[in-house]
Amino acid sequence: MQTPRHTLLFVTLNGAVAWTVFGVLTRQVDMSPIAATGIAAATAALFAHTVSRQQKLQPLPHISAALGPLLPGSLTYTGVLAFIQGRPADGLGDLSRAAAIALALAIGVSIGGEITRQLRRVPSLHRLAAERTRGY
């Protein structure tokens, strides 16, 4: 995913956290995989925005690489395979779920970014007054 080498450890850990959040929500809380994917993506985006801001880097490489474990690759594959094998109803169902997961990823990343942006607006006690007035 062309992530810089010095960020690989964080991206790997962020992907593991996202996958763990997804697993806990689907298996322990019995949540829908689509909703769990959105929450896991929001968690990964929240961490990626926070760390990339501290390192003064763009968050997109961190987010896109960390979402790798959540991508609906197997559903897409089985959906296309079902169409090829002459089972269009099964294929349409799998591809619909894959599209819903992809939308949940996009919505989760947007929500995670917005939460981070809102949290940055809360004034911090340890920042200098000059930093607070410049919007940092």
**Mean local confidence (pLDDT), 36-57:** 89
End-to-end CA distance of the chain: 29
Q: Which residue has the higher pLDDT, 128 or 36?
A: 36
How far is residue 25 CA from its own chain's centroid? 14
Q: How confident is the model at residue 117 (pLDDT cuts 50, 70, 90)?
A: confident
pTM metric for this prediction: 0.81
For 71-115, what is each residue's pLDDT tens digit?
999 999 999 999 999 999 999 999 999 999 999 999 999 999 899
**Does 34 have pLDDT greater than 80?**
yes
Question: Rounded to an integer, what distance in angstroms lies between the CA atom of residue 52 and that of residue 11?
Answer: 11
Average pLDDT, the chain: 86
Question: Rounded to an integer, what distance in angstroms lies between the CA atom of residue 69 and that of residue 96?
Answer: 19
Q: How confident is the model at residue 129 (pLDDT cuts 50, 70, 90)?
A: low
For 5-29, what is each residue's pLDDT tens digit?
887 888 889 999 999 999 999 999 9
For the chain, percent of residues with pLDDT exceeding 90: 57
